Structure 1
Amino acid sequence: MLPSPPPRIKRMFTATNFATAKRVGCFTALLSLLVSGCTSSSSTSQSKDDGNTKPRVALIMKSLANEFFSTMAKGAESHQAENADQYDLVVNGIKDERDVSRQVALVEEMVASGVDAIVIAPADSKVLVPALRRAIEAGVTVVNIDNRLDAEVLQQENISVPFVGPDNMAGAKTVGNYLAANRKGEKVAILEGIRTSFNAQQRLKGFEAAMKDAGMEIVSSQSADWEMSRANTVASSMLSEHPEISAILAANDSMALGAIAAVKSAGRAGEVQIVGFDNISAIQQAIQDGKVLATADQHGDQLAVFGIEAALKQLGSENSESDSSIEDVETPVDLITSETLVKE
């Protein structure tokens, strides 16, 4: 055994180590903060290495800054809590609806972590498909919710992914029909979602079909990327360029909120009708206040649950060696107006 150092040397050694440890600790804490700031995932899952044999399901959504997806996450977490003996859940979301690369990375991270299933609301209908193909090749069950994956790209990648979600075109047409039946004028504008998203394309078609049937003219149709601030800017420009606009059809409620602000800034509150899609709580209040005419409820609190249940069904079929394939599942979408809110 080596002799102990003299007390003075020992004190110097200890102080030096303490200072170094303190600097390392600060750096580690800073690094942890930076890493945590770049992810928006939460987990109720446990590792299989810990002896857990329940299936692990990863829910991958779009922006949690959008109330629709935060509601979706809460619904999924409540379902897992009620069925904790059946499966574990990992919840993920991106910060920006347009951050497709981050969502691709989340798919890869979930596959690497060993999840059994991925339930995904893709930010882009095409770009996510190759990553999901790799997930399927790794043995992961994949279920598509909210925004349908592109059929042509799925065929190119030689995979089939079941879609669990509403008929967005039919839902948007219902909202458009209600606007047409209660219209104040003939000229309208549309705020589209991200144009590469299938649900944005379908809602646009639904709005267009309703306006065509009613003989109403669409004088402007532009994308506002699903975002409230962007919608405010785009709608303000529309109203300035086309003062004859009597209504704005927004492909989601966040954009409808942006349209409300634009209409107010233009001094046309009460003149320009607004409809949306999603039925978030802020829009319910706006409908009651007369600022929004109608929206579509695709039951965001249950949409992920429908997808999770489909994934669990497929996993159960695989374990029982029966037919493991599942078909598309159409989920409900309902018209929400001041009258339906009163009934609720």
Structure 2
Amino acid sequence: MLRRGFLAGAVGVGAGVALTACTSNTPAGNNAAPAPGAAAPAGNNAAPGRPVTIGFSAPAADHGWIAAIAKNAQAQAGQYPDVTYQPVNPTNDITQQIAAVETLINKKVDALVILPNDGSQLTSLGRRAMQAGIPVVNLDRIFDTPLAYRCWIGGDNYGMGVSAGNYIANRLRERNVAQPVIGEIAGIDNLPLTQQRSQGFKDALASFGFSVGPRQAADFTAQGGQRVAANLLQAAPRLDALWNHDDDQGIGVLAAIQQAGRSEFFMVGGAGSSNAMQAIQADNTVLKATVTYSPTMASSAISLARLVAQRRGLGDLVEHEVPASITLASATVTKDNVGEYLPLGFES
């Protein structure tokens, strides 16, 4: 599922600060001078610049979201005639990832986009590239220090939890549900991203006077989701709502719900897979919404690496440089707006 033209498409998933700015909004023929204290837009970032080579490294595609990361990066690089794209073999072995990126550093590529298996363990590699004069766009899993990257772009894990909590709480209020039982199926509990998602969910519910009820952690796989959901459903004879952190593991969660014959509650997913969005569109399961953590961020990372390597900024921003940090917003996808987001979904 190649994602062409995500320079514009990713804006709908929350990369507005980065990508809306990639093209000027000045109408053709508009020669009006900028207001005092403002600067004229920098122009069309899609226009060809000097040729650059962008290296890319990410983990192996053992998960639908990761698979989409690699596809999106390659598709976006293909949009630019001035970009030579040099990916290295994806791997879940940190030592192998370090060795592969070192080859790109030795080739003196113009920029690197790195989604590290582990941000902490690859921080020294990012610093080495930066010290060699190769700007690094750090994708999602962040390095330990800004000295290891020129720009970071990634999703908002805390914001995912907030979006899920707000949707659930508002829907329960509309139904006048008092003292609701709200379940949560998390990802891997010892990961900071899972902890951030859960904290955002808890905080959002608390702002409505609600709290998280039965909660169990899975492992971001369909098999783990099915096993954990079956256990949670057995322990909770009543549920009003359920948030599942990840749409890949949500395949198993939905299977467990159907096997248990439960339909008294509604569910919210996480990440924004096309499978989940198709179920939301069909409206024939308990899944009524998902909150995005879109792999289109890889498309954006390639676009940003190109601009940094060409020493260009974002067209609609006054500053001459690409920002140092860009956090994507987590959109809430429901039956009302699923048509807008479905083309950006990834296959679980």
Contact 2:136 2:149 in 1 (8 A): no
1:226-253: CA deviation from partner (whole Å, max 9, x where unpaired): 2221122222222223333433312221
- Report the equivalent of 2:6: none
Residue 248 (1) aligns with residue 239 (2)? no
Corresponding residue to 2:171 among 182, 187, 190: 182
Whole-angstrom CA distance in 1 between matches of 2:148 and 2:85: 26
Q: CA 1:102–1:294 in structure 2 vs 1: closer, same or farther (change >3 Å)?
A: farther
- Report the equivalent of 1:163: 152
**1:181 CA displacement:** 2.0
Q: CA 1:210–1:77 in structure 2 vs 1: closer, same or farther (change >3 Å)?
A: same
Contact 1:256 1:275 in 2 (8 A): no
Return 66-75 or 104-113, whichever deviates more: 104-113
- Report the equivalent of 1:230: 224
1:291-336: CA deviation from partner (whole Å, max 9, x where unpaired): 3121123442x31121112222222229xxx987741123343210
Residue 209 (1) aligns with residue 200 (2)? no
Q: CA 1:316–1:69 in structure 2 vs 1: closer, same or farther (change >3 Å)?
A: same
Whole-angstrom CA distance in 2 between matches of 1:330 and 1:111: 26
Corresponding residue to 2:291 among 290, 296, 307: 296
Q: Secondary structure of 1:218's partner?
A: coil
- Report the equivalent of 1:340: 337
**1:63 CA displacement:** 4.5
Contact 1:80 1:87 in 2 (8 A): yes
Whole-angstrom CA distance in 2 between matches of 1:327 and 1:65: 30
1:66-114: CA deviation from partner (whole Å, max 9, x where unpaired): 33233333322222222133332416534x6xx5555445444544555
1:99-142: CA deviation from partner (whole Å, max 9, x where unpaired): 55554454445445554332223343433323333333444322
**1:338 CA displacement:** 1.0
- Report the equivalent of 2:85: 88
Residue 284 (1) aligns with residue 273 (2)? no
Unpaired runs of 5+ residues, structure 1, are 1-52
Return 309-318 or 288-297, whichever deviates more: 309-318
**1:260 CA displacement:** 0.8
Q: Secondary structure of 2:311's partner?
A: helix
Residue 59 (1) aligns with residue 56 (2)? yes
**1:198 CA displacement:** 4.3
Contact 2:140 2:154 in 1 (8 A): yes
- Report the equivalent of 1:25: none
Q: CA 1:82–1:266 in structure 2 vs 1: closer, same or farther (change >3 Å)?
A: same
Q: Secondary structure of 2:252's partner?
A: helix
Whole-angstrom CA distance in 2 between matches of 1:216 and 1:239: 20
1:183-241: CA deviation from partner (whole Å, max 9, x where unpaired): 37722232323445443333222211122223333234343232221122222222223
Q: CA 1:242–1:284 in structure 2 vs 1: closer, same or farther (change >3 Å)?
A: same
Whole-angstrom CA distance in 2 between matches of 1:67 and 1:262: 20
Whole-angstrom CA distance in 1 between matches of 2:210 and 2:261: 23
Larger RCO: Structure 1 or Structure 2 (Cα < 8 Å, ≥ 6 residues apart)?
2
Whole-angstrom CA distance in 2 between matches of 1:323 and 1:182: 44
Q: CA 1:217–1:325 in structure 2 vs 1: closer, same or farther (change >3 Å)?
A: closer
Contact 1:58 1:92 in 2 (8 A): no
Q: Secondary structure of 1:277's partner?
A: strand
Whole-angstrom CA distance in 2 between matches of 1:342 and 1:325: 31
Residue 130 (1) aligns with residue 128 (2)? no
One-letter amino acid of the counterpart of residue 324, structure 2: E
Q: Secondary structure of 1:78's partner?
A: helix
Contact 2:239 2:264 in 1 (8 A): no
One-letter amino acid of the counterpart of residue 211, structure 1: L
Contact 1:80 1:89 in 2 (8 A): no
Q: CA 1:245–1:100 in structure 2 vs 1: closer, same or farther (change >3 Å)?
A: farther
- Report the equivalent of 1:275: 268
Whole-angstrom CA distance in 2 between matches of 1:123 and 1:246: 37
Q: CA 1:135–1:282 in structure 2 vs 1: closer, same or farther (change >3 Å)?
A: same
**1:55 CA displacement:** 2.9
**1:162 CA displacement:** 2.5
Whole-angstrom CA distance in 1 between matches of 2:217 and 2:94: 17
Whole-angstrom CA distance in 1 between matches of 2:183 and 2:254: 13
One-letter amino acid of the counterpart of residue 296, structure 1: V
One-letter amino acid of the counterpart of residue 90, structure 2: G
Contact 2:230 2:256 in 1 (8 A): yes
Whole-angstrom CA distance in 1 between matches of 2:277 and 2:190: 28
Corresponding residue to 1:199 among 183, 193, 200: 193
One-letter amino acid of the counterpart of residue 205, structure 2: M
Whole-angstrom CA distance in 2 between matches of 1:343 and 1:138: 42
Whole-angstrom CA distance in 1 between matches of 2:63 and 2:258: 22
- Report the equivalent of 2:65: 68
Whole-angstrom CA distance in 2 between matches of 1:243 and 1:231: 18
- Report the equivalent of 1:154: 145
Q: CA 1:91–1:200 in structure 2 vs 1: closer, same or farther (change >3 Å)?
A: farther
Larger Rg: 1
